[in-house]
Amino acid sequence: MSNFVVNIGVETHIQIKTKSKIFCDCSTEFTDKPNVNVCPICMGLPGTMPTLNFEVIPLALKTAIALNCIINRISGFARKNYFYPDLPKGYQITQHKFPLAHSGYIILKSGKKIRIRRLHIEEDTGKMIHDQDENSLLDFNRAGVPLMEIVTEPDFNSKEEVIEYLERLQRIVRYLDVSSANMESGEFRGEPNISIRKKEEGLLGVKTEIKNLNSFKAIEKGITFEIERQKMLLDGGQKIESVTMLYDEKKQTLKPMRKKESISDYRYFPEPDLPDIILSEDLIEKIKNTIPELPEKKVERFKREYNLNDEESEIICQYKDYADFFEKSILGIKNVKRLTNFYIREMPVILKEKRMGVKDLPFDSDKLNALFKMVDEEKINLNLAQNILKEISSTGEHPDIILKRAFESDLSEDDLKNLIIQVLDENKKEVERYKNGEEKLFGFLVGQCMKKTKNRFSPGKVNEILRNILTKK
C-alpha cells in the first residue's frame, strides 16, 4: 500500500430561516403533505417572475460576517441551467460570478484554518421520491426555499476535520439564529468532495463528490468508503474518474450516479429578471452590530470566568439559549463550579425527557438562580437541590415554595429533634469520640441526620439543632 494524502473540500447547503420562500410568498414551513406550499411562481409556470425576499439578505450577511468573509458590495444572481424533474424552471436561480461573500475561514480546535472560498444564496429545488411501485413522485414544497451555500477550499485532510468543521458551522448558524440547521430535515446538508494523491505528488488528485449524506454519521462513513475506494483504484494502477457518488443509507454503500445525471456544463448566465444586490456600508455595519458572541469565544470565556473545563464549556455552549440560561442562572453565585453539573447532567436529562428546549421549560433562569443561591448559601445541599429541580421542572413552582413545603408541611422542629436523637442513638461510638474532642465527626453526624431526614431540612437547621442537643447531653 502506498502512502496517500487525502484532500477534502466541503460544500454545505444551509436553509435560511425565513417565513416565506426566496422568490415568492409561499411558506417555508416543513410539512408532510406534498405540494401545499406552492404557487405559480415557485412552480415555474410560464410568465411568472421571481422577486427577491429581502429577509434573506441580512441573515446570509450575518453568516458571512461570522465566517470572516469579505462581503461583495455588489453581487448578483445567475441561472444554472440543467434538466431534472424536481427543477421547476429548467434552471436554478443561484449566484455564480458574483457571490454575496468570499474568502472567509473557520479555525478548528487544533488551530488549523479552514479557508472558505465563497458564500452565496440560492433557491432550493423540489424533491423527487420513488414509491414501492417504481413510480416517481414530485413534491415542490421545498422548491424556492432560501439556501446559503458555503464552499471551502480542499483544506481538510481527514474525516474528523470535516466533522469538526461542520459541527462548528452548524453551531455558528444556530447561534446567529439564521437557520435551524437540522440535518434530518434537510436544513443543513454537507457534501464533501474528495481527492487523494500519493505523498510524493504535489498536485491534487481527481476529485469525486458525495451526495445524499443526511447525518454526521453518514458523512463520516461516506468519506471513509470513498477514500478506501479511491485507494484501491490507485493501488491497482487505475485512474480516478470525476464522478458524483450517492450514499445509500440502508445498504451503507456508495454508488456512482449515472453519467446522464451528473452535468458538467450548467451554461451559467446572469439572471435577467433580478437586479444586482447592492449593499450599503450602513447596512453591513448595522448587521455587524447584531452579531452575538460567537460559540468559540463563549466557550473560552466560560472556561475563564466560571472555571469550567473544556468539555463542560463545550457542552454548555452547544446552544446559545442554553448558554444564556446558564449564565443568567448563575448570576451572583460564588461557587459556580459546584453547580455546573446541573448543566452537564440534570438539565440535559430533563430536556431530553420533555423533548424541549430551555425556552419551553416551565421555569425560567431566575427560579433556577434562586435554587442555586440556596446551595451557594449552604441552605440546602446538592442532593436536595437536584430533587427540587426535578420538582420545579414539572410544576414550574418557585424553589422557595417547594423548600418551604418540604420543611414545613409534614415535619415539625420537634420531629427533627426526635430524628436527630434517633441518629445519635444509632451512632453512639461516634458521639462518644466527638465528645472526646474529634471535632471532624460533627460533619459525619450532620450527614447521617440529613440522610435520616431525607434532605427535608436545610443543613443549617440540622446543624443548629444537632449542636444544641450535643451540648445539652
* CA pair distance 251, 277, nearest whole angstrom: 44
* Strand-strand pairing, 244-248 and 208-211: parallel
Nine-digit cell string for 256:
456512482
Of 139, 182, 176, 174, nearest to 43 (Cα)?
139
CB of 191 to another protein, least distance (A): 22
CB of 264 to another protein, least distance (A): 10
CB of 52 to another protein, least distance (A): 7
Residue 54 touching another protein (CB under 8 A): no
CB closer to another protein out of 37 and 448: 37
Q: Which of 131, 133, 134, 265 binds another protein (CB under 8 A)?
A: 265
* Residue span 94-133 as binding mask against another protein, x where in contact by CB under 8 A, dash where not: ----------------------------------------
Counting residues that bind another protein (by CB under 8 A) gives 29
DSSP bridge partners of 70? 102
DSSP bridge partners of 20? 27
CB closer to another protein out of 81 and 387: 81
* Strand-strand pairing, 78-81 and 188-198: unpaired
CB of 91 to another protein, least distance (A): 5
* CA pair distance 472, 237, nearest whole angstrom: 92
CA 211 distance to own-chain centroid: 22
CB of 75 to another protein, least distance (A): 15
CB of 92 to another protein, least distance (A): 11
User: Nearest 5°: CA angle at 201, between 200 and 203?
Assistant: 150
Residue 236 touching another protein (CB under 8 A): no
Length of the chain: 473
CB of 50 to another protein, least distance (A): 8
Q: Which of 14, 22, 50, 165 binds another protein (CB under 8 A)?
A: 50
Of 212, 21, 209, 12, nearest to 114 (Cα)?
12
Q: Which of 4, 268, 319, 444 binds another protein (CB under 8 A)?
A: 268
CB closer to another protein out of 144 and 205: 144
CB closer to another protein out of 95 and 458: 95
User: Nearest 5°: CA angle at 367, between 363 and 373?
Assistant: 150
Residue 137 touching another protein (CB under 8 A): no
Residue 260 touching another protein (CB under 8 A): yes
- Residues 355-377 as b or e (16 or more Cβ within 10 Å = b): eeebeebebebebbbbbbbbbbe
* CA pair distance 107, 296, nearest whole angstrom: 9
CB of 70 to another protein, least distance (A): 23
Q: Hey, how many other C-beta atoms are within 10 angstroms of the C-beta on 427?
A: 17
Residue 36 touching another protein (CB under 8 A): no
Region of 47-55, 61-69, 402-410, 438-446 interacting with another protein (CB under 8 A):
47-55
Q: Which of 48, 214, 262, 318 binds another protein (CB under 8 A)?
A: 48
CB of 386 to another protein, least distance (A): 57
Please name the amino acid found at residue 471.
Answer: T
Nine-digit cell string for 154:
480542499
Binding footprint of another protein on the chain (CB under 8 A): 40, 43-52, 79, 81, 83, 85, 88-91, 138, 260, 265, 267-269, 272-275
